[in-house]
Amino acid sequence: MMRKTILGGIWLACACGRSAAAGYYLPNQDAFATAKGNAFVATADNPSAVFYNPAGLTQLDQPEFQAGFYSIILGNRAKIDGSTYGTDSEIQVAPQLFYGAAINDRLSYGFGLNSPFGLGTDWGQNTPFRSVVTEARLLYASGTAALAYELTDELSVGVSLSANYADLKLAQGIYGVPGSYFKFTGDGFAPAASIGLRWQPLEKHAFGFNFTTQSDFTLRGRTDSNLLPDDSSSNMNFITPARLAAGYSYRPAPGWNLEANVEWIDWDSLNTLKLKTSSAGGDSVAVPFEWESSFIYELGVSYTTPSGYVIAAGYDYNESAQPDQNFNPGVSDADRHWFNAGFGHRGDCSDWMLAYQFGYSNRDVTGSSVPEANGRYEARHHALVFSWNYRF
């Protein structure tokens, strides 16, 4: 009877805590794109087109390799009932590798290894909402192969297929039991596919579109608690959402590139997931998300000097996907502003680019289904992105 009571409390917390890692979408897969606020789907003129828009690979005149990383320090604070709580500060890094080349005058291909989702937060054990989340962490890797074909001199189409790996850790306390913990860890694989178009009807004007399917995982692992006698084998279905991006690039003069993008993220597909564990006799436990689909608005400008130096700046606005009722501090999602800038150089055989991001948001949460999570949440994030390209 005691075991069932404990599990019942855990599942109630899990129903809110599962969202803690699902929202870690990382669109920053190239330093030049990041510096422009990720407004890149219509430009897509380097190997990172494998991610942003595979149709852009037809622009590569020679084989090109790209390596880089995205690094970020998340700064989250919660102000609840007159007290302030913060997440542990740590540098988190996501690497990126891309390659692209032409097969013939019309057909090109590319490969990528990157992390379009990931990161984590650790609130510790001393917050009022410890029974919702103490730590949430997602390790994610995506291996992608892409093909692009130039239908006409103005229009290209691209497709890609990805094999994705997710390793999820979620931890929380048990309501009303100081010092207690409950943890789920699991991993799994799932595919995804993309299709992209790039249309450049005039020299100064280009349009880009890219759609990526959702990935449906079954994460297999274990649950663990210091109030239960042993670990329990568990599995949970997990989704990374479909995405659709559209963009327009305008090049008013040599060296200049202005671009605007809109990206739609299908967070609405995260309805109610299922967690199955031997601790519950093998029964499935409902894990409701009930998020809402959201948009990212991206605007950027770049200038390349005659000597090859590159200056870029951009802004992107991320809509929140979490309504107050389903808010979870593991993500601390909010309507968030990102300011971006970058500097680099393009040479005959190699390029480099360094970009900086500052993100901030303030959100007052009321009406949460977990009253302990109601309060004011502030985010101040700092990120660096570096890319190096080499043409053979």
Q: How many domains does the chain have?
A: 1
Is pTM beyond 0.85? Reply is: yes
How high is the pLDDT of residue 343?
A: 98
Nearest to 109 by CA among 142, 150, 139: 150
CATH of the domain at 378: 2.40.160.60
What integer pLDDT is reported at residue 231 of this predicted model? Answer: 64
- The per-residue pLDDT for 17 is 37
Which domain, by its residues, includes 303? 2-391
Residues in the chain: 392
CB 24 within 8 A of CB 138: yes
Structure confidence at residue 218 (pLDDT): 95
Element counts in the chain: helices (H) and strands (E): 4, 21
Who contacts 159 (Cβ-Cβ below 8 Å, separation ≥6)?
Answer: 54, 146, 147, 148, 193, 194, 195, 196
Question: What's the pLDDT tens digit per position in 341-376?
Answer: 999 999 999 999 999 999 999 999 998 888 888 999
Q: What is the pLDDT of residues 9-63, one digit of tens each?
A: 554 344 333 333 335 789 999 999 999 999 999 999 999 999 999 999 999 999 9
- Given a cut of 70, the residues of the chain with pLDDT beneath it are 1-23, 228-231, 279-283
